[in-house]
Amino acid sequence: MKKILKWAGIVAVCLIVIGFIAFLYLIPPFDLLPREAFTKPHAEVVASALEKIDDPVERTIAQRGEYIMSYSDCSDCHTPQGDQGPNWNEFLAGGAKFELRNIGTPYSRNLTPDPETGLARRTDDEVKRVLRSGIFHDGRFFHPTTMPWPGFSNMNEEDRHALVVYLRHIKPVKHKVPEWSAESSDALYLFYPYDYAEHEKK
């Protein structure tokens, strides 16, 4: 009787261990997540906001901007990742962290038109200057390995305008991203795709 119990115990423990390993092996992130988890936003999160624009000119330009935003991959850095892929309710709200040797620790910014934490605080010219020249609104410089502005500087001015018009019309998210800190790591380049923003306690 005791022997049976002992064996049953051993088998149970083994099953639990094997089950746990299988669980670890099979569960996401990120290589086993359904691939749709990363491609969702363009239909669901984005398009609906643009239909509400009253001005037909703005709407047409914003649609071009939406297309440019999608293929330019803004959301890979500006939408933080959770365990189940990107947090779509924080679409383009920023918060991912970079650590760069000798340069510091920037965080991806909140691109939504939120008046307190987002791009509503910046003029069109300031946003375009970032995209064209990597110059922050206060004159600081983005290292190209964080914000890849040297690529975006090859965009023509009208497309850049369309992108800015689009950003003015997406859903505002209140999402306070930490300020750029001067601390830097020994590693050359580290990217933490998670959310480092302050969240209001509910």
Partner 1 sequence: MLIAVSLWIGLSANLLGAPADKEAVSQQTVGKSIYETHCAQCHGADGKGEGVGSALLNPRPRNFTTGMFKFRSTESGSLPTDEDLMAAINNGLHGTSMPDWAPFIKGDSLKQVVDYVKAFSPRFQKDKPRPVHVGSPVPYSAASAAAGKKVYAKLQCADCHGTDGAGTGAVAKDFQDEWNFETYAVNLTEPWTFRGGATARDIYLRFRTGVDGTPMPSFAGAASEKEMWDLANYVVSIARKPVWNMNENEVKEFYSKLDAQEKADPVQRGKYLVRSIGCAGCHSKYTDDMRIVEGSQLSGGLTFDLYPFGKYVTRNLTSDNETGLGNWTDQEIKRAITQGISRDGRKFLPFPMPWAAFSALKEDDQNAIVTYLRTVPAVHHKIPDPDKPNVFTYLWGKFKMLVLKERIPAPAYPMKEPEDQQKSVSQNLSGVDKNIAAHDEHAKVVQR
Residue 179, token pair as written in the block: 């300020």
Please identify, using beta-carbon distances, which residue of 129 and 176 lies nearer to partner 1. Answer: 129
Longest dimension (CA), the chain: 82
CB of 160 to partner 1, least distance (A): 9
- Shortest spacing between CB 88 and partner 1, in angstroms: 12
- Listed in sequence order, the residues at least 6 apart from 160 whose beta carbon sits closer than 8 Å to its beta carbon are 128, 131, 132, 152
User: In angstroms, what is the minimal distance from the CB of 74 to partner 1?
Assistant: 8
Contact present, 85 and 79 (Cβ < 8 Å): no
Nearer to partner 1 by Cβ, of 39 and 89: the residue is 39
Amino acid (one-letter) located at 32: L
The span from the CA of 116 to the CA of 162, in Å, is: 23
CA distances from 189 to 56, 122, 135, 172 (A): 43, 28, 20, 30
Of residues 81 and 117, the one with the C-beta less far from partner 1: 81
| Number of CB atoms found within 10 A of residue 144's CB | 12
Rounded to the nearest 10 degrees, the angle between the axes of helix 157-168 and helix 56-72 is 100
Instruction: Return residues touching partner 1 (CB under 8 A).
Output: 21, 24-25, 27, 29-31, 33, 35, 37-39, 42, 56-57, 60-61, 64, 67, 70-73, 75-76, 83, 85, 99-100, 129, 132-135, 139, 141, 143-145, 148-159, 161-162, 187-194
Q: Which is nearer to partner 1, 19 or 144 (CB)?
A: 144
Nearer residue to partner 1 within complex by CB, 8 or 15: 15
For residue 3, the minimal CB distance to partner 1 (Å) is: 32
Task: Find the shortest distance in angstroms from Cβ 4 to partner 1.
Answer: 32
How far out from the chain centre does Cα 194 lie? Answer: 8
What is the rounded distance in angstroms from the CA atom of residue 192 to the CA atom of residue 97? 5
Decide whether 19 or 29 has the Cβ nearer to partner 1.
29
Tell me the C-alpha distance between 101 and 188, whole Å.
5
> CB of 117: closest distance to partner 1 in angstroms?
22
